[in-house]
Amino acid sequence: MSRNDASRPKPPTLHDVAVRAGVSAMTASRALNGKPRVSAETREAVARAVAELGYVPNTSARMLAGRSVRRIALLHGGATTSAYLGELLLGALNEAPARNIHLTVEQCPDRASTEELVAQIVEAHVAGVILPPPLCDRPELLAGLAGAGIAIVAVAPDQETANVASVSTDDRGAAYEMTHHLIELGHRRIALIEGTSRHRSSTRRRHGYIDALRDNGIAVDEDLIVAGDFSYRSGLVAAEKLLAQAERPTAIFACNDDMAAAAVTIAHQQKISVPGELSICGFDDTPLADAIWPRLTTIRQPIKEMSEKAMEMLCAHLWPDGDEGPEAAAEFACHFHLPFELRRRQSDAVPAIGH
């Protein structure tokens, strides 16, 4: 990039137009596109802002948003792990070619306001979005996208709502099953490495873990519940803390495979045999689970299949006859639940004698 290019001011965005006109980004978009339910006064304010700022709509993207090309976005935030995002992307990419979909991937900055995020997605000129956690748990973002006429399918939301379609699996039930499996092996000191609280799925998994302990008459020991943030590094820190306890756990259940793999690494460093002296289990069944040694026992969360289903749901809603271009994204509400599976491999066993 030349020095002149670096110093050249960035062209104004739809968000800039909205701020200048004193309206929301979705309202500015509706005014610019001639949509109904926009007052004459608002249209004039937006037109004035466009003229004052010299805003030029992305006409090439607008043409792509027309009747000949179908565009759907997969959104993700900074808290989405690479393994989880990779599975989501695989699912969407599997469906896109067969359905004649142009897939775009949009990263949503963690600190961006709802206005900025809506403006970003509106400018991408997509008809619908696949919205994973934690973005799908922001009610104001859901409302903003819907107000801009963009169809939404939430992946693994914290709660199902009447006007937002979703696809999910039973996080709480899956965590219960894994914890119960370890109890059946004979473990009583079972530790939990949690994920970030920004992902509500982490809370559901904690509840499933606690439910299983209580249903089997095992007291909940808060010292055995350690915070992580779904990253490998946080799993290293959590495992070190757990294995430094005077009476260390005989099993660790981590809320994703990255943190479970980190716990295996710490056990190896401390010369603790896995699973001979310590069972370690994960969640998600990402490729990492089958790549490390010992191979991880984990919950197979159907991430790729949820993304495929989300794409299918959006297409059925937006282009029901398979021939027409995007219709106005009316509210639709359907909730699909895909099954999980406990996949036992090599990282769990009965507790060592004496534990």
pLDDT, one tens digit per residue, over 132-186 is 988 999 999 999 998 898 999 999 998 888 789 999 999 999 999 999 999 999 9
Q: What are 284's strand-pairing partners?
A: 300
329 or 194, higher pLDDT: 194
* pLDDT score, position 339: 96
Please report which confidence band the pLDDT of residue 13 belongs to, taking 50, 70 and 90 as the band edges: confident
Q: How far apart are CA 304 and CA 195, in angstroms?
A: 20
* pLDDT score, position 36: 65
**Residue 196 DSSP symbol:** -
**Residue 287 DSSP symbol:** G
* pLDDT score, position 79: 67
* pLDDT score, position 355: 57
3 or 23, higher pLDDT: 23
Q: How far apart are CA 222 and CA 178, in angstroms?
A: 19
Query: Which pairs with CB-CB distance under 8 Å and at least 24 residues apart come from 216-219?
Result: 216/180, 216/183, 218/183, 218/188, 218/190
pTM: 0.76
Within 10 angstroms of residue 274's Cβ, the number of other Cβ atoms is 22
Strand order in the sheet with 190-193: 225-226, 190-193, 251-254, 279-284, 297-300, 341-343
Residue 294: cis peptide before it, omega within 30 degrees of 0: yes
The helix or strand, by DSSP H or E, that contains position 343, with its residue range, turns out to be strand 341-343
* pLDDT score, position 354: 61
Strand order in the sheet with 165-168: 101-108, 70-77, 128-131, 151-155, 165-168, 335-337
The rounded Cα 67 to chain-centroid distance in angstroms is 29
Q: How many residues does the chain have?
A: 355
Closest to 264 (Cα-Cα) out of 247, 249, 281, 287 = 281
Q: How far apart are CA 88 and CA 91, in angstroms?
A: 5
* pLDDT score, position 259: 97
Residue with tokens 């310590």: 278
Q: Identify the three-state secondary structure at position 118.
A: helix
* pLDDT score, position 30: 72
**According to DSSP H, which parts of the chain are helical?**
3-7, 14-21, 25-32, 40-53, 59-64, 82-95, 114-123, 139-147, 171-185, 200-215, 232-243, 257-269, 303-318
Q: Identify the three-state secondary structure at position 144.
A: helix
Q: How far apart are CA 19 and CA 32, in angstroms?
A: 14
Q: Which of 177-186, 199-208, 316-325, 338-347 has the lowest mean pLDDT?
A: 316-325
Domains, the chain, ranges and CATH? Answer: 1-57 (1.10.260.40), 64-168+306-337 (3.40.50.2300), 171-301 (3.40.50.2300)
Please report which confidence band the pLDDT of residue 38 belongs to, taking 50, 70 and 90 as the band edges: confident
Please report which confidence band the pLDDT of residue 256 belongs to, taking 50, 70 and 90 as the band edges: very high
pLDDT digits (tens, 9 = 90+) for 68-83: 568 999 999 866 788 8
Residue 286: pLDDT above 80? Answer: yes
